[in-house]
Structure formats: C-alpha cells, structure tokens
C-alpha cells in the first residue's frame, strides 16, 4: 500500500465552525472531508501513526444518550491525531444532582475545550451550545433529527465500493420517522447526486411535509427494486408513541432484510446499517454477517477515519 499526499483544503479554507447539521458544510467542504477521511483510512489500514495535528488541543466527548460506535470512534479519532481526549461519565456526573445540560457543557468548556462532541435528544440544544461555548460543537447525534458524522462515514463507505454516490439508488429502510441517521443520510446522499428512497411502513414515515423530495415506498418490492445500497435502520422503540408501535407488528415478515429480500435489489447490492442492529427484528444475522453483501463493519472502520477528518478539518480552521 502506497502513501498518498493529503487532499488540498478548499481554496477559501474551511469556513464551517460547527457541525450540527450536514447543512453546516458546503459542497466543497463535504468533498474535502470525504477525501481526507479516505486519506486517514490509509493510515489506519497501514497501522501507521497519523500526523499529530491536534497535539495540545482538548476534545471533550459529552454523551447524554448511550453510544458505542460514535463515542468510542471520536475518542480513538482524537487520540490518533494527538488531542487530549476526555470522555465525560455522564451517568456519574453532577447532572444527577440536578445540574442542567447547558451548565454541564459550559463547565466543561471552561476547562479549556477546543471541541465538544455532544449527543443529546433535546431539540435545539446543540445550536444553543454553539452560541454559548467558545469551542467547536460537533453533533454526535441529536434525537431523531441529525447525525451528520454518521452520514459522512456512510458516504465514505459507499465511495469505497462505488467511487461515487452519483446516480446510485439508495434505499433507506425501516423506522425512518424516528431515525436521525435517515435524515442526515438523505440530506447528504441527495447532495452527492444519489437517488434516495425511504422504504417502510406508512406509520413509520416522516410527516408528509418533510423530505418532500424523497421518494417513499411502503413495500420492499418497490423500495428495493434497482437499489445499489440498502440501508437498514433500527426500530427506535425508545422514541415511539404507542400508536407508532402498531406499525412494527409483523415487521420482520414484511420488511426484514434477508438474503431472499435482497434479491429485489440490484445483483451485487450491498446492505448497510448504522448500528446498533437488532438481529431478527430489522435484519437477518446471516445477511449482516455475510462479507460479500454487508458493509456494516466497514462502516465502523470508516467511522474512525471520518471522525479524524472532521476533527482535523474543523479544528484546523478554528
């Protein structure tokens, strides 16, 4: 494997000072971050130390909702670039003495944070923190709204197989309504030129006035037809009202992703899933574990490289 030069930054530099939504990034910035992620993936594949471009910078990971992939890959990403990384143990923090999320974040920022990665379900919290804190705020997952770094790593993973997302058909399948990944993926993939579809029960689709440019299919037969990529989504039971749960009855029999149902997609189509997955609920374990059809562990691998790229790009500019 040969070493490559890093991609050239945009001519005007990186102007984004936060990453709360994919829409905080220009098309040029997105292209640069995807290229930079591929560059960092090369270091990881070669087991080679990456440039210590964040030495002396402080990164705080503040996750008010549970996480395995996002929290730990941001942790690894920051350390690989030389940052001092702090993971806040929220379950043992003063939040449980009644301290507000904003007071907690301001307290941590006062310890000298250069960047704070925040996961929380409270709507508008990330925007408020961006206004209040003198550091870069990165969204590590915002309720059912946005998960921009997941979308970026998904795009990097797809590019590793198809070079480009342009003209690909990508079916995002499952509990679309409650999925922050579905929203960020749809926004990003559309900007990158893909044809995106939402597939799932009508009761788990977004409101009709949202994502009006995205095709909706309520059968797997229509939704997977001609798809290059099928992105399975977890049933987000914790975000559902009791009425929504009716739409999940018999879900696996109707919408479960299996080797058999993948025959409706293009030959050679890949299945993806942001995780955590529930085997036997939205996806069959045999399909998830099939390296010829599943990119799920590649998504995890590219998660580290993509978050290295995001930290480098945003902190390099800050």
Binding site for ligand CP (CB under 6 A): 67-70, 141, 147, 150, 274-276
* Residue in 81, 44, 40, 43 with CA at minimum distance from that of residue 59: 81
Place of tokens 């995890």: 300
Query: Which residue, 179 or 248, has its beta carbon nearer to ligand CP?
Result: 179
Cβ of residue 183: shortest distance to ligand CP, in angstroms? 13
Instruction: Find the DSSP H helices in 46-133.
Output: 69-80, 101-109, 125-132
* Residue in 254, 295, 305 with CA at minimum distance from that of residue 273: 295
Cβ of residue 267: shortest distance to ligand CP, in angstroms? 28
Cβ of residue 260: shortest distance to ligand CP, in angstroms? 26
* Residue in 92, 9, 84 with CA at minimum distance from that of residue 52: 84
Cβ of residue 49: shortest distance to ligand CP, in angstroms? 25
Query: Which residue, 52 or 68, has its beta carbon nearer to ligand CP?
Result: 68
Tell the burial category of 96 from Cβ atoms under 10 Å away from its Cβ (0-12, 13-18, 19+). exposed
Query: Which residue, 150 or 248, has its beta carbon nearer to ligand CP?
Result: 150
Cβ of residue 14: shortest distance to ligand CP, in angstroms? 24
Query: Which residue, 32 or 282, has its beta carbon nearer to ligand CP?
Result: 282
Size (the chain), residues: 318
Reduced to 3 DSSP states, what percent helix, strand and coil does the chain have, rounded to the nearest 5?
Answer: 45, 15, 40
Query: Which residue, 148 or 275, has its beta carbon nearer to ligand CP?
Result: 275
Query: Which residue, 58 or 150, has its beta carbon nearer to ligand CP?
Result: 150
Instruction: Find the DSSP H helices in 63-202.
Output: 69-80, 101-109, 125-132, 148-162, 180-191
Cβ of residue 149: shortest distance to ligand CP, in angstroms? 9
């Amino acid at each position: 494997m040969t070493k490559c030069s890093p991609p050239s930054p945009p001519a005007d530099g990186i102007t984004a000072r936060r990453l709360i939504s994919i829409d905080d990034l220009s098309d040029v910035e997105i292209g640069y971050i995807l290229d930079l992620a591929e560059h960092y993936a090369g270091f990881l594949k070669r087991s080679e130390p990456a440039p210590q471009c964040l030495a002396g910078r402080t990164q705080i990971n503040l996750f008010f909702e549970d996480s395995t992939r996002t929290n730990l890959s941001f942790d690894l990403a920051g350390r690989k670039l030389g940052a001092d990384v702090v993971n806040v143990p929220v379950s043992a923090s003063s939040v449980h003495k009644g301290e507000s999320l904003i007071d907690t974040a301001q307290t941590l920022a006062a310890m000298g944070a250069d960047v704070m990665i925040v996961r929380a379900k409270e709507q508008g919290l990330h925007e408020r923190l961006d206004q209040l804190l003198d550091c870069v705020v990165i969204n590590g997952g915002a309720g059912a709204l946005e998960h921009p770094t997941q979308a970026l790593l998904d795009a990097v993973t797809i590019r590793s197989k198809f070079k480009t997302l342009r003209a690909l058909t990508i079916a995002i399948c499952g509990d679309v309504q409650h999925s922050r990944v579905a929203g960020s993926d749809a926004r990003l993939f559309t900007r990158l030129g893909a044809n995106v579809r939402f597939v799932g029960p009508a009761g788990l689709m977004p409101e009709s006035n949202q994502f009006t440019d995205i095709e909706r299919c309520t059968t797997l037969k229509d939704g997977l037809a001609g798809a290059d990529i099928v992105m399975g989504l977890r049933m987000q039971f914790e975000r559902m009202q009791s009425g929504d749960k009716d739409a999940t009855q018999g879900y696996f029999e109707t919408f479960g992703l299996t080797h058999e149902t993948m025959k409706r997609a293009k030959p050679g189509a890949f299945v993806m899933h942001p995780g955590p997955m529930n085997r036997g609920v939205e996806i069959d374990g045999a399909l998830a574990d099939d390296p010829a059809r599943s990119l799920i562990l590649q998504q995890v691998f590219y998660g580290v490289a993509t978050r290295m790229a995001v930290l480098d790009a945003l902190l390099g500019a800050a």
